[in-house]
Structure 1
């Protein structure tokens, strides 16, 4: 039996395009894993991209941000972990995770390297093609990683653990899935004391952001999504069945963040926070009951078809100031193709009501599906223009492994000669090249931006307090800067807008 087993959880460095706005942010997934395991073992988290946020290396046309290879080796040599877990949340950044695994094995071949995250869960067989990876965790990771560590410590077999993918006898074996944790309140809050929170706060202040307050923290109140959208890979990690934390447990975490770190704004990163409307109302009631001075928003989107006026009103009273709606398409036929269902009239009504009570709203749309033609894209642009949305974001469809859309692209021959990590900001379709889609995307941004700059009274009507006024001025300044950069939109797409 191994003694004093030590576990290191790693968030890799980031290799991005020069105009990519990606910046260091807390990995809640690693925070949850560490909190679950530190009750039994010595655990640390190494956020390579954050700890080395000022270290940039040019790699071809891309830049890598994070600790140098030497810095990573030094940390490994000093801590000497027995097990290293590496999060692999993005297909585009998969090679970053593989490079870290290589450094780990070069430091000590005996270290057990475990991969997890969205990309690893959606395509575990391809991940195990990399010989530096010993085992892949599929889906929810807390109980699976704990079992891996315990078996490794006791020198027991690792090839039959539920929720993993392993090599066995020259082939790759997918073990049966692990049952999801039913009672999310039983999971400790993320181990933020193991994360470089001061650096996250400092970075958020220096970078361009659209937050109302300075100190921001992210929170996840639920897992899983019952939706069947063909473009979404969330099901590979959290599954289709929705599970939610209790309102008391959620607000306990918010209160902890407020008191310990001075956090004034919460970003809920749920994929489906509004599935249970009574629960969401309960979260609002609990924030109000405790008199917490908190602002919050839903940057990952909230299901507009599940909202009503009374719930939105309570959300506003509880500190919500901005809502993001995943509208995806203004064309009903395309919407059905995507597996999404909502009523356009209801959506417009909710957006207008949110505007009337002073909430800022963002609509996200996706263009460039395999069979989509220009008139369908124009319907999406016109929906945004003719609504009361304050902002609209137009993404180009990106076929992620593990999604139905990825399989459609493969069948149609649209991914020939492309590996998943080469698909950045979408790809060509049957009717448009990728460059043409980028141009349509840029024009959509520019058209929407000009339309809102011509209606400044909409923004002014949201001002209810001095804080509202300051935030409106902040957004107006950013809008004006965007206006001067409109020519860049048509050439560089969404990254130009973010930057």
Structure 2
């Protein structure tokens, strides 16, 4: 039995004496992949939190299992006293907020300022608490623990989890990976003496090679794309060549997760992503069919973790994956989380036609957006035919100079963006768009151009706008530029867009001689007030023209009314879950019938 010790009394695993061989060589080490506990401020959708599947951990676990390694996924979101079996016992706080602020928080990459938290006792655990994790670590006794660190907002929780693991299991190898860990590896190692190794980029092969090191079959220094300590100095190994053929990672094994518990969250109004709600839509998952992005947007950090090379699963692999989800696990809705789902037109068309040929029945959306230049009418027709409930494009700005010279999103043109807006209205696809304001070299005139472009798209083409304030994340070109020119404004925030958690984190916003975060926030709020008014009027007119949809919406409202929430919150939920998808609402019975037939 591994003993529990204080952190100060422990020699961490990666010391100069055991870099070639670990403290304990084990023939069959047990691996535990963990998403740490998180404390949430918001209670029920659309306020958050967002408790989706840990698809990164799941891919790593599948890769290890295929190589006969003893591995388990421990997702704190679905462990602990929240569940009895797969039954959910919610204990949600009531937070009645301003619709404008809720809209902004749901879609803006920002946060809740620490000063705005009035009652920290309202913060909630969904799933396992720290005490529950400690108890389960003692029970499971893993030899290697992999922690996921997706966002900067999760850093403190990741470090806290590592320290807890080190205290409970002093000889366990602790590895941290994920997008934020890849962006800030030195920070995590410096802040947490409990962490042994940082995995940089794709985690599947890295974790397998760490297992081989624990087995005594290789030295730590031969594992590419990791960072560890050597005599208190952080050492980075050479960067590994990215895996191009993602089929080599295998077919995801969903039996490694307590899948029904995620659906139970969705059923109780705690959704991982925005989506059209219909009977059966709670059985939804996120799916990634490709990795990497060749574009060089100044604000984006995806290249730090996934690289700039566009890498993909084969179409047959993706179709098999979807077929497994829909037929074996009863999934009815898929969020395609690719950063560039439509980049390879030939592949995308094969995927869409394959869905039709295999008669796969499900609905889908693109929450991370698509590249407007890569879309055309033939693609859009298939997008609708295969069950897309909404499509997002990401022009980022309504000013072409800003796109070209500040964001660097070439070869995107606003003419192509407008063309796609027109096609979406013609074909009948609900369209949304991402915009960002507040870049260092941006002027108020250019910001107003973006606001006018977005409002015009809403009025003419029914494109729902999501306007965010620029945030400079470490590792991005935007951060480097803002830091060099003195444009960074650093504050402390709590939570992120979906109420992801409650830890304090540093947030880097932008100022220049024409605006600061406070004035920009007022501009953003004013824009959203107008957008809500315009959207509400358009929705009302649509419902008057379509009485059957109006009756369906009223029925949905009363059927899904929650007494634990305010009337305002129930109305907001009606918009976020139904009325933002007017084209799809006209096909709602088709979606529900698909599931009955399937």
TM-score (norm 2): 0.74
CA contact under 8 A between 1:384 and 1:448: conserved in structure 2? Answer: no
Which stretch shifts more, 154-163 or 284-293? 154-163
Name the structure 2 match of 1:3: 27
Change (3 A) 1:357 1:306: same
Partner of residue 46, structure 1: 74
Q: Which residue pairs with 1:497 in the alignment?
A: none
- Is 1:300 the counterpart of 2:368? The answer is yes
Give 3-state SS (helix, strand or coil) of 1:427's partner. Answer: strand
Does the Cα contact within 8 Å between 1:166 and 1:172 map onto a contact in 2?
yes
In the alignment, which residue of structure 2 is the partner of 1:312? 380
Structure 1 residues 74-113: Cα deviation after superposition (integer angstroms, max 9, x where no partner): 1111110000000001001110111111110010111100
Deviation track 1:200-245 (CA, whole Å, cap 9, x = no partner) reads 1111122264324332111111011001001111111110010121
TM-score of the aligned structures, taking structure 1 as reference length: 0.89
What stretches of structure 2 of length at least 5 have no aligned partner? Answer: 1-24, 83-89, 94-118, 494-503, 562-566, 573-598
* Cα distance in structure 2, aligned partners of 1:95 and 1:299: 27
Residue 86 (str. 1) matches residue 147 (str. 2): yes
Alignment check: 8 A CA contact 1:159 1:168 kept? no
- How many residue pairs match? The answer is 481
**Helix, strand or coil at the partner of 1:364:** strand
Mean Cα deviation higher: 371-380 or 232-241: 371-380
Distance 2:431 2:289 in 1: 21
1:339 lines up with 2:367 in the alignment: no
Q: 1:61 to 1:204 in 2, by over 3 A?
A: closer
Query: Quick check: 1:37 aligned with 2:64?
Result: yes
Contact 1:11 1:86 in 2 (8 A): yes
Measured in 1, the distance between the counterparts of 2:550 and 2:353 equals 22
Tell me how far apart the structure 1 counterparts of residues 314 and 568 of structure 2 sit (CA, whole Å). Answer: 42
Question: Match of 1:92, SS?
Answer: helix
Q: Are the aligned partners of 1:281 and 1:315 in contact in 2 as well (CA < 8 Å)?
A: no
TM-superposed CA distance for 1:68, in Å, is 1.9
- 1:330 pairs, out of 389, 398, 406, with 398
**Maintained 8 Å contact 2:202/2:305:** yes
Q: Distance in 1 between matches of 2:122 and 2:159?
A: 19
For the residue of structure 1 that corresponds to 2:369, the secondary structure is: strand
1:408 pairs with one of 481, 498, 504? 481
Partner Cα distance (1:33, 1:459) in 2: 46
Q: For 2:257, which of 195, 204, 214 is the aligned residue?
A: 195
Matching residue within 521, 525, 529 for 1:438: 521
Q: Which residue of 2 aligns with 1:429?
A: 511
Structure 1 residue 74 corresponds to structure 2 residue 135: yes
Contact 1:371 1:429 in 2 (8 A): no
Q: 1:470 to 1:300 in 2, by over 3 A?
A: farther
1:185 aligns with 2:185: no
Indicate whether 1:28 and 2:90 are aligned. no
1-structure distance, mates of 2:239, 2:268: 42
Q: Is residue 356–residue 462 contact of structure 1 (8 Å, CA) maintained in 2?
A: no
Give the aligned partner of residue 309 of structure 2: 241
Q: Which residue of 1 aligns with 2:158?
A: 97
Tell me, in whole angstroms, the C-alpha distance in 2 between the residues paired with 1:65 and 1:318.
34
Unaligned 5+ residue runs, structure 1?
486-499
Closer, same or farther in 2 for the Cα pair 1:311/1:484, shift >3 Å?
closer
Larger Rg over CA atoms: 2
Pick from 22, 31, 38 the counterpart of residue 14 of structure 1.
38
RMSD: 3.0
1:132 and 1:232, CA in 2 relative to 1: closer, same or farther beyond 3 A?
same
Aligned mate of 1:211, from 260, 276, 280: 276
Return closer, same or farther for 1:468/1:484 CA change in 2, 3 Å cut-off.
Answer: closer
Q: Offset of 1:33 from its aligned partner?
A: 0.2
Secondary structure, aligned partner of 1:267: strand
Shift in Å, 1:371: 3.2
Which residue of 2 is the match for residue 232 of structure 1?
Answer: 300
